[in-house]
Amino acid sequence: MSTLSIILFFLYSWGFGFGLGLLAKESEDFLERNLMRIGTGLGAMLAFGLLLNLLRVPLDWRVFLSISLLLAFVKTYVDFKKEKVIFDAKKISISVFPLLMLALFSISLYMYEKGAFAYPYLEDDDSWSHAMGVKYVSLEKTVFVGAGNSLYIDPYPPAYDMLMGILHQTNDSVYWTLKFFNALIVSLSVIFFYFFAKTFTNSSKKALFSTFALFAVPAYLSHFIWAIALTMPLFFASFYAVEKIKDDKRWFIPAAMVIAATLTSSPTHSAYFGLFFLIYFIGRTLVQKKLLVYEFIAGFSGLLLSFLLWWLPMILTHGFKGTLRSFLGSAQSVINVAGTGDRIYHLSEFIFAREVNMINNPIGIGIVLSILTIIGLVFIIIKYKDMAREENYHKLITVLWFIFAFYAVNAARFPVRLSPFRAWMLLAIPVSLLSGEAIALIDNFARAAVSNFAKPKTAIKAASLLVLGLIAYSIVMTSFVQKYTVNTAIWPPGGFWASGEELQGYLSLKSLPPNTKVFTFSNFGVINGFDKFVCSWCKEVQDFRKNGFNQSANAINLWAKSNGYNYLVVDGQTARIHGVNETNNKINELLNSGLFKPVHATGGFILFQTA
């Protein structure tokens, strides 16, 4: 069933992207056209999912498959009626640059997947909460929950759990769904960034160099399971669609859809996307000295769609303050949003990448990429007149993005900030683009220098390959090796566990069939995260978790049987809540009642089966 989920993911996203070809002219390049259908289609699928949710249409995988297939059929039919050649093998021309990019994507996916499955549990704290949200969406087929929930949906931006919940409907493992598709989506950043950079810089070579930098830099995403893992790939798909407006003004429609999905994917980085877009719009307007009407419409329409499809319903349900408080925290303001890992960084932490790092947002760039960034920045500033040329607007925007992102990372010192430690992945974007400019500059210099002494093209190409090879090796050794080490290491299971023995006890749940109903008086997230089931959103289950502990063994047994729970966990987290003595007394009461049979026990965990 896991293979089916992978196939369906690409059918959903590619089908929606293929359908967007009805609205705007796609790239003539075969790989770009089809690979970016996945990016823009993913955004369109999520935006359409929010519409279905608002209309109370179930978020069922068969609905999305039917729509994606219908869009593909309509697009094929329209092309046929227009006598347009649907597939012509003779026109397929694939250069070496996208092939090298796909190699980077493959290595990235291998690294992230290897790291994700290096341990038999979900990591840290966020992932266990997402497990509950994914299970909720997969069964209830909506992202509306209402007040009093502890899920990463409603009023939290729902795109991540909505996507994972739909994908989970075609397999029996929340654990596998989160780990695999999170790694896949993060890796897709490589593809989406390459084609964005290609349209942005109008250079396949610079796009490849920049993509290699993004692929290698430690600061750009880990395989950490959180909503930002979806925001960043959508980031690049959105800007790609906006850039395509240059070729066909009708691209503002697909761009608006992808932007709407981006703005409903995570709180902080949806906001950061808006700020990046504003800088992009202002920078490009200054250089091109004209109002970018369709780009403005794309951005405004995307914002409006996100407001109508999600933010307005949330404000009506929770109120404006309640919506903000749910993900900003009651002690914060809109301009002062702290993150759990915020601190002041030193210069050495930017320049040198380390093999021991944060897991949610690793920091550091690497000494070679840092030097290349400075070279690219200095060269653009020295040649500032080139930035004024209409075709070079990307240079000014890149510099402005770098200034903004550098401030964002260091904003812990200042009153205006937006989760500074999470801004490292944003800094990686202009760092990669500036590094791409620098590598292209060095390559051109090497070619020019060799051409003064040796005219044959083979000598010039050999010199270029030698220089690029040395640069690539240096980047790998000073950035990617450290990134690979962090992303393939054994990560901790979260800070809420009472002991390692408790975790070992929970690992025994893997011997039970998927979706076996298991109740606990403590943490619902770990039950769903280990592919068992507890209805964490059901009021009667929530109430019994609060009140059931103090009831008799007979009452607990009666409630469990009447609600279909054949297993009960009592763990160290229960002891934290109710006290050690009270928990031990409850265990003895359950054992002596004859109504509960112990199945597995460790120092901090005991699994009972109802008799």
pLDDT digits (tens, 9 = 90+) for 264-282: 999 999 999 999 999 999 9
Instruction: List, in sequence order, every beta strand (DSSP E) within 381-470.
Output: 417-418
pLDDT of 330 reads 46
The mean predicted confidence, pLDDT, of the chain is 94
What is the side-by-side order of every strand in the sheet holding 605-610? 518-520, 567-571, 605-610, 596-602
Residue 327: phi and psi, rounded to 5, are -130, -5
Q: Is 594 exposed, middle or buried (0-12, 13-18, 19+ CB in 10 A)?
A: exposed
Other Cβ atoms closer than 10 A to 148: 8
Long-range contacts of 136-142 (CB under 8 A, 24+ apart): 136/161, 136/165, 136/536, 136/537, 137/59, 137/161, 137/162, 137/164, 137/165, 137/166, 137/168, 138/165, 138/166, 138/168, 138/169, 138/174, 140/537, 141/58, 141/59, 141/60, 142/53, 142/56, 142/58, 142/59
CA 175 to chain centre: 16
Read off the pLDDT of residues 426-480 as tens digits, 9 standing for 90 and up.
999 999 999 999 999 999 999 988 887 766 788 888 989 999 999 999 999 999 9
Residue 545 to residue 556: CA distance in whole angstroms = 11
Phi, psi values for residue 221, rounded to 5°: 50, 140
- State how far the alpha carbon of 521 is from the alpha carbons of 121, 362, 555, 565, in Å: 20, 35, 14, 13
The pLDDT tens digits for 92-139 are: 778 899 999 999 999 999 999 999 999 999 999 999 999 999 999 999
Weakly modelled stretches of the chain, pLDDT under 70:
1, 83, 85-90, 147-150, 326-339, 454-455
Q: What is the 3-state secondary structure (H, E, C) of 471-487?
A: HHHHHHHHHHHHHHHHH
Residue 23 DSSP symbol: T
pLDDT for residue 82: 78
Give the model's pLDDT for residue 85: 64
- Other Cβ atoms less than 10 A from the Cβ of 448: the count is 11
In sign, the C-alpha dihedral spanning 419, 420, 425, 426 is: positive
